[in-house]
């Protein structure tokens, strides 16, 4: 693969911040071209939902990581990674999810597979690790994650977990997430399969309750689940359990008590919602609580599903009350941010879609947008929302992100932990919309937090010294 070369670029300061002047070699690989489009220039659909091109250094996480980010917020579970220590340390406390109860999930237990285990098999070591952990912590569920090497040596996770479950009389659930066996989206599916095994209705569950929902695809980063729960409580809707932010064994076991599933992060949870519809006849709705527009629309959508006029009236009151509070603040930021350009590269499509609308609310144009695991219908919505000339790309690599950010003159990159250094190396402002952030970005309050963060990074005096 030819490396992207920046032959010459400089960052000139005019006003708040000016953009680099790049001279780039056109380095997009032939095999990648179908996964990148510029709105208005190409009519064809973007190629997505496929495995990464070999050797492309994709920004995507592996299957195991996809599974881990979905399951890790289950607070009172033992999360045991069957593999080399690196897999466990890479995802240790990964989500930044908050808990109102147990803190057990913040540990990253590992079987620490070594050369000998690779040669002779790691099943005995895994069984011993489960025994040790169960003796030390009184958990009711253990998730055992497969990693790349486990897929290679062929340890029988299913059999070891079954034997351990019988021995200890608790649930020991294998997560079939060998790192190389697909992409991050396959990990989401493996996590959903593990959750489905857990929520099989048993002695704990009872009949669905009215006006009660499960909230899927929110991982309680910086307490976001609590914000949404609070809004819903105010209008008379109960959240049975969130998947998986601040969840626990008992609440997940009782998941079939809800009469509706609402999905925030569809990329990770649509499969679970579809299976729960097939198995337990629980319908589902796609929603998003990011930004004023989507938060209001989502609240209305949930209220309309229940068809209860008092809930609908309370939703309107809440939207009016909260919008009145935050609108003047957002207007203040819009006046100062008008005309700035943002590049977005996030995990899933729902977040990308909401961010386009949120940036519009504060006067910022999106000039490049991509995701790790966006689906065809999500890219269609993205294409409908963005302006002509915006670059849309799926499963990008650092060279492509760099090339298009510079070409489009982005002032700001929104991404996660892997994108942060890229932005800083280019002298572009960065905001984290993933695991590392400490403030909530959901709901009305989240819209203000986002605007505040964008303003403080874009208008920081530090750019004078670049
Ligand atoms: S599962 Fe494989 S790709 Fe994923 S962190 Fe472990 S070694 Fe790396």
Mean pLDDT lowest for which of 19-28, 212-221, 364-373, 375-384? 19-28
* Spatial separation of the C-alpha atoms in residues 366 and 39, rounded to whole Å: 12
Provide, rounded to the nearest whole percent, the portion of the chain with pLDDT above 90: 77
Rg (CA), the chain: 23
**Which ligand 1 atom lies nearest to the CA of residue 83?**
6
Mean pLDDT along residues 290-295:
94
**Which ligand 1 atom lies nearest to the CA of residue 147?**
1
369 phi, psi to nearest 5 deg: -150, 135
Question: Would you say the CB of residue 145 lies under 6 angstroms from ligand 1?
Answer: no
16 pLDDT higher than 50 = no
Task: Name the residue with tokens 């009172």.
Answer: 76
How far does residue 59's CA lie from ligand 1's centre (Å)?
14
6 pLDDT higher than 70 = no
Same fold yes or no, 63-182 and 212-316: yes
Question: Would you say the CB of residue 58 lies under 6 angstroms from ligand 1?
Answer: no
Question: Would you say the CB of residue 247 lies under 6 angstroms from ligand 1?
Answer: no
436 pLDDT higher than 90 = no
Site to probe by mutation for ligand 1, drawn from 57, 59, 64, 151 as the one with most ligand atoms within 8 Å of Cβ, is: 64
Over residues 323-363, the pLDDT tens digits come to: 999 999 999 999 999 999 999 999 889 899 999 999 999 99
Mean pLDDT along residues 369-380:
93
How far does residue 75's CA lie from ligand 1's centre (Å)?
23
Residue-wise DSSP of 180-202 = TSS-HHHHHHHHHHHHHHH-S--
Q: CB 399: neighbour CB atoms within 10 A?
A: 22
Look over the chain and give the mean of its residue pLDDT values, rounded to a whole number. Answer: 90
The pLDDT value given to residue 198: 94
Question: Would you say the CB of residue 137 lies under 6 angstroms from ligand 1?
Answer: no
293 pLDDT higher than 50 = yes
Mean pLDDT along residues 391-404:
94
The pLDDT value given to residue 386: 96
Q: What is the reported pTM? A: 0.90
Domain boundaries, the chain: 6-57+338-435, 63-182, 212-316
Name the pairing type of β-strands 391-394 and 365-371.
Answer: parallel
The pair of structure tokens assigned to 399 is: 């060279």
Over residues 204-232, the pLDDT tens digits come to: 566 778 899 999 999 999 999 999 999 99
* Spatial separation of the C-alpha atoms in residues 221 and 71, rounded to whole Å: 13
The vertex-265 CA angle with 261 and 270, nearest 5°, equals 55
Query: Which superfamily is assigned to 63-182 in CATH?
Result: Nitrogenase molybdenum iron protein domain (3.40.50.1980)
**Which ligand 1 atom lies nearest to the CA of residue 65?**
4
Which CATH number describes the domain made up of 6-57+338-435?
A: 3.40.50.1980
Mean pLDDT along residues 376-391:
94
* Spatial separation of the C-alpha atoms in residues 69 and 81, rounded to whole Å: 13
Question: What would be the CATH architecture of the domain defined by 212-316?
Answer: 3-Layer(aba) Sandwich (3.40)
268 pLDDT higher than 90 = yes
Mean pLDDT lowest for which of 103-112, 229-238, 431-440? 431-440
The pLDDT value given to residue 26: 65
The pLDDT value given to residue 10: 39
């Amino acid at each position: 693969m030819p490396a992207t070369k920046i032959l010459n670029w400089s960052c000139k300061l005019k006003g708040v911040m000016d953009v680099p002047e790049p001279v780039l070699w056109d380095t997009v690989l032939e095999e990648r071209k179908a996964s990148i489009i510029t709105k208005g220039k190409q009519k064809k659909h973007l190629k997505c939902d496929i495995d990464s091109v070999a050797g492309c250094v994709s920004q995507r996480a592996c299957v195991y990581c996809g599974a881990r980010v979905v399951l890790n917020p289950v607070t009172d579970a033992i999360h045991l990674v069957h593999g080399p220590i690196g897999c466990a340390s890479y995802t240790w406390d990964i989500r930044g999810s908050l808990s109102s109860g147990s803190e057990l999930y913040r540990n990253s237990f590992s079987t620490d597979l070594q050369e000998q285990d690779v040669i002779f098999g790691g099943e005995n070591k895994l069984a011993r690790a489960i025994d040790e952990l169960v003796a030390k912590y009184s958990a009711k569920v253990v998730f055992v994650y497969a990693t790349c090497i486990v897929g290679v040596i062929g340890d029988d996770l299913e059999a070891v977990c079954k034997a351990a479950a019988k021995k200890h009389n608790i649930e020991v659930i294998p997560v079939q997430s060998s790192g190389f066996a697909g992409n991050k989206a396959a990990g989401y599916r493996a996590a959903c399969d593990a959750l489905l095994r857990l929520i099989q209705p048993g002695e704990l569950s009872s009949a669905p309750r009215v006006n009660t929902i499960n909230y899927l695809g929110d991982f309680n980063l910086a307490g976001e689940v609590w914000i949404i729960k609070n809004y819903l409580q105010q209008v008379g809707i109960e959240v049975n359990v969130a998947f998986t932010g601040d969840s626990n064994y008992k609440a997940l076991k009782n998941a079939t008590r809800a009469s509706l599933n609402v999905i925030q992060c569809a990329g990770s949870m649509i499969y679970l919602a579809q299976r729960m519809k097939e198995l337990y006849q629980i319908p589902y709705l796609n929603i998003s609580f990011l930004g004023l527009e989507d938060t209001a629309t989502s609240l209305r959508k949930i209220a309309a599903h229940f068809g209860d006029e008092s809930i609908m009236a309370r939703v309107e009151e809440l939207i009016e009350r909260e919008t009145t509070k935050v609108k003047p603040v957002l207007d203040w930021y819009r006046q100062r941010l008008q005309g700035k350009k943002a590049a977005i590269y996030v995990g899933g499509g729902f977040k990308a879609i909401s961010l386009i609308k949120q940036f519009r609310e504060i006067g910022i144009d999106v000039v490049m947008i991509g995701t790790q695991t966006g689906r065809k219908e999500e890219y269609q919505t993205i294409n409908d929302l963005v302006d002509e000339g915006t670059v849309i790309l799926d499963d990008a690599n650092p060279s492509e992100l760099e090339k298009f950010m510079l070409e489009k003159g982005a002032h700001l990159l929104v991404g996660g932990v892997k994108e942060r250094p890229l932005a800083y190396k280019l002298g572009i402002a960065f905001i984290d919309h993933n695991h590392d952030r400490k403030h909530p970005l959901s709901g009305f309050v989240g819209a203000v937090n986002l605007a505040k963060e964008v303003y403080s990074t874009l208008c920081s005096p530090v750019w004078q010294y670049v």
